[in-house]
Amino acid sequence: MSKRINADDAARLVRSGDTVASVGVIGWITPDALLRGVADRFRRDSEPRDLTFYFPCGTGDSIDIRGMDHVALEGLMRRIISGSYVNPLHPTKRTRPELMRLIRENRIEAYSWPIGASMQWLREVARKGPGLMTEIGLGTYADPRQQGGKFTSLAKQDLIELIEFRGKPYLFYPTFPLNVGFIRASSADSSGNLSYEDETLISSNVALALAVKASGGIVIAQVRQEVPRYSRPAHHVRIPGSLVDHYVVEPEQMSGTDIRSDRAYLGGSAPDLRSLPKLPLGPDKVIARRASREVRPGRTCIFGFGASSDVPLVMAEAGLFDDGKIDDYQFTTEHGPFGGIVMSGWQFSANIGPEALLDGVQQLDFIDGGNCPFAALAFAQFDREGNVNVSRFGSSNPGAGGFIDIAQNAKDLVFTGTFTTAGLNVSIGSGGLQVVKEGSVRKFVDRVEQITYPVRKGVVERGQTALVVTERAVFRVTPEGLVLTEVAKGIDVRRDILDQMAFAPHRIADPLPFMEPSLFAASPETAEVTAAQKITGSV
């Protein structure tokens, strides 16, 4: 008997008060039709109501693949727990996602967990364990001594506990049951066996299905096509039909944002370096070029969302991967692709020309085990105590994603971002940069709004190294504080750096060298600075 149903039937299986778990990674592997179906039923029937949604990762792009934004409806959503939130401005409407409004206006109970915890927690539910115990997130906003992962004042329940085990502190995430699971795959047969031949990522789909079934819940899959039973080799089927109650066929499902299907993301051939997008010359490109100078062949390098994910693209444009040299590098993200080129923007999380793929839970195990010695990550705020914030600032509530797991376990860290934001305009040329209009929002602040990772503590206690790379200056994080180590030619240190910070650096290098002129070139160059160039008359 076939397990195939339609999206309306799937929505009717969700009951008021249920906990619904679903997973996608931005536009990748998002079961959009299933989430849309629940929202459509609520608008039509005012049912189901008061749901708790559990998203291990930000699901959907909130634009054409709306994902979690479909169910961001008062009355339908009572509580949400997510490893990250999607927080873009709509390209034409210039509005934030509806889910961001509900969080900002305190209309729902909203929690944000580190993505490692949100995925590894599923494994504890699946084996009917008491909860997840981890060191990841101590001293961050997930720590109950700070916000305990709470993003709204309506979120009153303590979902994360601080415990002591054998004399050491840990964070503990107690388990609770999941009633409905929405997952996605490429193909299903009549028995519900799921394969992922057209999907760039797997994320935590397997763990989520296991957790829901262990809870006595219902697992519903969205797939592009139905295939005959016994038509696929067993090693292509990642989720057996015994874990799947029903599936819905959605022939028009997108592979990812703006991508119907692109085999380049599936591997099987070396990446076509000539077809890669090229960044326009601007602050992000300067930052990515400078960060790329810290990348070394022969070790696994992991990249986060934002300017840091542009690093492999500028390296490719500079010819550093030509003549087979791409084989000397191993690039990954928190979502499991290995090899090839990490993509940026809406295509972030997947790689062009990957050689291997781990699922989300295994990838976070890989990260937490210290197997990514180099990490490049974005920053939104940095404060005088050496704390970095990317999880909540101003009107933005993106959560941490994989940031905490990555930052806590890498050996060498590079944090990337513009010096200020909101209206920043710069002129680039002649081997340097000038500020035409300063951004209205400072990013070097007295105190971050939320601690996503205590960087200086990591330098002191974990022996990490850390750089902060901007378009006009580079800082090194030392046990004593920030040290200004490089500045762009054309920048006045007093006006353009010190006066734009809420605190003074611990020290300014003397002599203070210029950033490499090639970083600001219109065409890619790989020339290295041969000697320090001292700035005079600026401080």
Active site residues: 334
Q: What does the alpha-carbon distance between residue 303 and residue 309 come to, in Å, rounded to a whole number? A: 5
Contact between 423 and 440 under an 8 Å Cβ cutoff? The reply is yes
Show Cβ contacts of residue 292 under 8 Å, excluding neighbours closer than 6 positions. Answer: 311, 314, 315, 318, 320
Torsion of CA 67, 450, 365, 214, to 10 degrees: -50
Count CB atoms within 10 A of the CB of residue 319: 13
Joined tokens for residue 298: 């022969």
The edge-to-edge listing of strands for the beta sheet with 225-226 is 225-226, 187-188, 194-195, 237-239
Sign for the CA dihedral angle at 61, 64, 66, 67 comes to negative
Q: Is 344 helix (H, G, I), strand (E, B) or coil?
A: coil
Joined tokens for residue 211: 């957790």
Joined tokens for residue 265: 């993301």
Peptide bond into 398 cis (omega under 30): no
Angle at which helices 360-368 and 115-126 cross, to 10°: 120
Contact between 419 and 469 under an 8 Å Cβ cutoff? The reply is no
DSSP secondary structure letter of residue 149? T
Count CB atoms within 10 A of the CB of residue 495: 12
Q: What does the alpha-carbon distance between residue 57 and residue 31 come to, in Å, rounded to a whole number? A: 13
Show Cβ contacts of residue 40 under 8 Å, excluding neighbours closer than 6 positions. Answer: 8, 11
Count CB atoms within 10 A of the CB of residue 198: 18
Contact between 476 and 485 under an 8 Å Cβ cutoff? The reply is yes
> Per residue in 439-456, is it b (16+ CB within 10 Å) or e — as a string?
bebbbbbeebbbbbbbbb
CA atoms within 13 A on the CB side of 152: 19
Q: What does the alpha-carbon distance between residue 354 and residue 254 come to, in Å, rounded to a whole number? A: 20
**Which amino acid belongs to residue 445?**
V
Sign for the CA dihedral angle at 68, 69, 72, 76 comes to negative
> Per residue in 8-47, is it b (16+ CB within 10 Å) or e — as a string?
eebbebbeeebbbbbbbbbbbbbbbbbbbbbbebbeeeee
